[in-house]
Each structure stands twice: as C-alpha cells, then as structure tokens.
C-alpha cells in the first residue's frame, strides 16, 4: 500500500508535519491495513526517522470497538462489515465511504497534555465544519464535534475522536461524516451514546459534501492546531450532557510512555 504526500507540509516552530493521503474512494484502505500503516509510521516517528505525520483516508465499511465498548453496544447485524477490536480509547464507532478519517501520528510537545491534544483535534473538526457552513461545537462530557438540538433534529454528532498515546506519540484520530450512508449508524449504539443522533455535513447542508471537498479544509485546520500555538476555542454546542458530568472528554488514552 502506498501513500501520496500532499503538495506541501506544515512547519511549526522547529517542527515539520507531513500530510499523506493513504487512499480515498476506490482506493479506500482496509482498517487492518491502515492500522498496520499507523504502527509503522508511529515507530518511525518515535525513532526520529520521519517527521510528525497525518494520514488522511477513507475506510471500507468497518465497525471499530474501543476499550470501553460494552457487549450490548455492538451491532446485532453488522451488515457484512467487520467488527474490529482496537487499542484506542472510547467505545464503538463506524468507518466507511463518505467519511474522512485523519490519523495524526505526532509527538506531543512537553507543554501539551493529552486532553489538550484531544481538544485541539476537536477544534480542527469544528473549524473545518464552520468553514463549510455547519456550526458545530463541543458538548460537555462527550467527545467529538456536535450540533445542538434544533428543528432539524436532536443533539447530533458529525465528527468522532478516539486516540492512543504511546512513547509520547499519538495514534488513531478523528473522523468527519461528509456524505456517509447514515443507515450504518442504526445498527449499533454510536460511541455508546443512546440519547443523541448522528449526522453528516451533506445532511446538514442539504447538498452533497464529498470527502474530496472537506480534505483540504480539514488539512488546513489540522495544520493550524498542530502548530501548537494558543487558540480561541469554538463555543460549546449546548448544555452539559447528563451522562458524564465534570467536563472530562469521554476518551480513554494511554499516557505518554505507555507501551504500544
């Protein structure tokens, strides 16, 4: 499996971030192949053999179950898609055509805590959505990018996040629904949250928003957040969620220095 570097890289003070498209559309990358690619890139970043790298791709239909997934949250009928148990935090989610996935494999600066990194990745999604005309925000106690309840529907999620940190370098990442078939999300309890919905940019804008349209926008916003400069957070999407008080992101992570 080959990866194609985008036309440019982003340089933070003293650091370079490379963006690579691993496969989109007909070249979507199987989840297990992408996981192996992540491991290889992660080892090279840890060893200092390559710069911080963000992999951008689509997956064929796949359910991935994080370490907090409960048995009842798994799909009873997966519709032929595999269900893969993974080493990231969080619960179960879906990846498939029409969803842009970004895997930032980056070394965290000493001043950036793991939760700070999660917030930065959320911010990249929120700003990319806003660039396309969708106003999203955070919901206290729930990770990801959310839209407030409105006449269009209940509180609903447009972007998901789940990460792992090993040897101070991140793995896994974020996924934004562009024109994904939302019927897949009816087969399970997305992220273990039963009292909210799932949406896409296409559904919210009443037009087709493709992965190719979002890709350069999300890339720019990720580069912005990975420059590690101070930023003004996007306002929250709505009131605190009752299921997880305290404002702690519902993302389990391994602290820097944990074994891969």
Beta strands in 6-98 (DSSP E): 10-12, 15-23, 52-57, 62-65, 83-85, 92-95
Which pLDDT score is estimated for 243?
Answer: 41
Which pLDDT score is estimated for 209?
Answer: 98
Give the residues across from 145 on adjacent strands: 159
pTM metric for this prediction = 0.85
Which pLDDT score is estimated for 98?
Answer: 98
Q: Quick one: DSSP state of residue 76?
A: S
Which pLDDT score is estimated for 112?
Answer: 93
Phi-psi sector, 80: left (phi>0), alpha (psi -120 to 50), beta: left
Using 50 as the pLDDT threshold, list the residues of the chain that sit under it: 1-2, 5, 7-8, 191-192, 195, 240-260
Which pLDDT score is estimated for 13?
Answer: 57
Q: Which residues are catalytic?
A: 191
């Amino acid at each position: 499996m080959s990866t194609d570097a985008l036309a440019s890289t982003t340089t933070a003070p003293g650091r370079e971030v490379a963006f690579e498209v691993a496969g989109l559309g007909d070249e979507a990358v199987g989840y297990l192949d992408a996981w192996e690619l992540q491991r290889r890139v992660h080892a090279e970043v840890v060893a200092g053999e390559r710069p911080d790298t963000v992999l951008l791709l689509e997956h064929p239909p796949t359910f991935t179950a994080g370490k907090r997934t409960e048995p009842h949250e798994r799909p009873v009928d997966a519709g032929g898609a595999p269900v893969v148990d993974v080493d990231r935090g969080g619960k179960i989610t879906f990846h498939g055509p029409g969803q842009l996935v970004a895997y930032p494999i980056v070394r965290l600066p000493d001043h950036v805590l793991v939760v700070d990194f999660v917030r930065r990745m959320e911010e990249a999604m929120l700003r990319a959505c806003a660039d396309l005309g969708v106003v999203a925000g955070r919901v206290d106690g729930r990770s990801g990018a959310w839209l407030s309840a409105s006449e269009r529907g209940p509180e609903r999620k447009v972007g998901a996040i789940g990460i792992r940190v090993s040897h101070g370098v991140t793995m896994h990442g974020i996924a934004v629904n562009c024109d994904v078939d939302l019927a897949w999300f009816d087969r399970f309890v997305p992220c273990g949250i039963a009292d909210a919905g799932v949406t896409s940019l296409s559904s919210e804008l009443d037009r087709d928003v493709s992965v190719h349209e979002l890709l350069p926008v999300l890339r720019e916003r990720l580069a912005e957040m990975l420059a590690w400069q101070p930023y003004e957070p996007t306002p929250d999407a709505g009131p605190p969620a009752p299921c997880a008080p305290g404002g702690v992101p519902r993302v389990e992570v391994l602290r820097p220095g944990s074994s891969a």
